[in-house]
Amino acid sequence: MARGRFITFEGIDGAGKTTHLAWFRDQLAEKVAPTGRTVVMTREPGGTPLGESIRDLVLHQPMDLETEALLMFAARREHLAKVIEPALARGDWVLSDRFSDATFAYQGGGRGLPRDKLETLERWVQGGFQPDLTVLFDLPPDTASERRGAAREPDRFESESDAFFKRTRTEYLRRAEEAPYRFAIVDSSQGIDAIRAKLEQVIATL
């Protein structure tokens, strides 16, 4: 069977991507089922037992910025080796809640880690591997902040300032402009029906 495809959902906290993730997986699974493929849904940081342990650390424990970035890429290497690469080799499709764009946006744009350091880690961990498609849920930080305020107890990232999320959003949009062939931008200030209509268009292109 031919190699599967890798799709990622990205966006600042509160942009609403998680609201649509399971729905998108179900819609995609219907489309690929006749070909004998399945859709594997996963997340970053996480996706493996080791990755989930690292997730708990980076979301809740204070640490040096470079330590944080190194842990993100360590979790990603494990994720690639144990989940993503084997699934794609089987011909399955992989849908991930975040991938390396998030590291550039959060640790790079938000926290200010120099891009060249992240690019070095990306080449080491991923080689030239990138998602086939990245769906970026775009939302102004002030609106995202209101949404986060109505959610659960915030973690280290969700507790950050609007200025942090403005920088994070700017880096996401820079990444999208740099690689328009793999990004689909969704205006997540719209209602659920409008967003899902856009996502249906995205699925149709796949």
* Domain map (residue ranges) of the chain: 6-205
The pTM of the full predicted model, rounded to 2 decimals, is 0.93
Question: pLDDT for 18-58, tens place per residue?
Answer: 889 999 999 999 999 999 999 999 999 999 999 999 999 99
Token pair of 129 as six digits: 């591997």
Instruction: Give the per-residue pLDDT at 145.
Output: 80
Q: CA nearest 38: which of 51, 50, 25?
A: 25
Instruction: Give the CATH H-level superfamily of domain 6-205.
Output: P-loop containing nucleotide triphosphate hydrolases (3.40.50.300)
Can you say which residues are annotated as belonging to the binding site for ATP?
A: 11-18
pLDDT tens, per residue, the chain with 206 residues: 689 999 999 999 988 898 899 999 999 999 999 999 999 999 999 999 999 999 999 999 999 999 999 999 999 999 999 999 999 999 999 999 999 999 999 999 999 999 999 999 999 999 999 999 999 999 998 887 877 665 567 778 888 888 999 999 999 999 999 999 999 999 999 999 999 999 999 999 88
Instruction: Give the per-residue pLDDT at 16.
Output: 86
Can you say which residues are annotated as belonging to the binding site?
A: 11-18
Instruction: Give the per-residue pLDDT at 153.
Output: 72
